[in-house]
């Protein structure tokens, strides 16, 4: 993967893809699937919704680090599988044949097979609404990868795959940060 300018990292999330979130609890790596995500600003700051019902949460709260890994449509069965079992009793990297890769800043691993990865620090947890606020610190994209279509969860077990990309950059010029 090549480094992606950090000021472009939010473009990996703005379209609202289902993502994988990796953690490291001091002993082992884990992965969970997250569809409740939000971009909070350009810097980039993100939010995910999760809580104590997931094994990953203790590592998120304890180490205050994670990686948002962005899978593509060819990985959908792995994405669903990862979201329907627990790191409490499963090594998900082994079970779903994914490769953990060391990042530059956080201990949580990147996922080699994903289209992109964002190393993140947990900067806030809004307990009342189970919102975990993340600041991206390094971003990567595998631009050589053939399949680039991301998936979006409807919420009922069905998914929508990326379709046509429409260009309205000129119309939006006043809202797009310089250099994006």
Ligand X SMILES: Cc1cc2nc3c(=O)[nH]c(=O)nc-3n(C[C@H](O)[C@H](O)[C@H](O)COP(=O)(O)O)c2cc1C
Q: In the complex, which residues of this chain contact ligand X (CB under 6 A)?
A: 18, 30, 32-36, 49-50, 54-56, 80, 83-87, 153
Buried b (16+ CB within 10 A) or exposed e, 150-180: bbebeeeeebeeeeeeeeeeeeeeeeeeeee
Residue nearest ligand X, CB atom distance: 83
- Cβ closer to ligand X: 35 or 117? 35
Alpha helices in the chain (DSSP H): 56-63, 76-82, 92-95
- Cβ closer to ligand X: 68 or 141? 68
Please state the closest distance from residue 78 (CB atom) to ligand X, in A.
11
Asked if 152 contacts 159 with a C-beta cutoff of 8 angstroms, the reply is yes
- Cβ closer to ligand X: 15 or 143? 15
Please state the closest distance from residue 53 (CB atom) to ligand X, in A.
7
């Amino acid at each position: 993967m090549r480094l992606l300018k950090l000021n472009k990292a939010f473009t990996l999330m703005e379209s609202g893809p289902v993502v994988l979130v990796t953690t490291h609890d001091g002993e082992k790596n884990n992965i969970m699937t997250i569809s409740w995500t939000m971009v909070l600003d350009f810097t980039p700051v993100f939010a995910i919704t999760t809580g104590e019902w997931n094994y990953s949460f203790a590592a998120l709260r304890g180490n205050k680090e994670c990686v948002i890994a962005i899978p593509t449509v060819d990985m959908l069965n792995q994405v669903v599988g990862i979201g329907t079992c627990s790191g409490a009793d499963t090594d998900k990297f082994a079970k779903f044949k994914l490769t953990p890769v060391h990042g530059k800043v956080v201990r949580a691993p990147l996922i080699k097979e994903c289209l992109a990865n964002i190393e993140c620090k947990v900067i806030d947890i809004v307990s009342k609404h189970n919102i975990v606020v993340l600041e991206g610190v390094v971003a990567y994209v595998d631009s050589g990868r053939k399949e680039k279509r991301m998936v979006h969860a409807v919420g009922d077990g069905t998914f929508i795959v990326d379709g046509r990309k429409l260009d309205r950059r000129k119309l939006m010029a006043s809202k797009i940060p310089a250099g994006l």
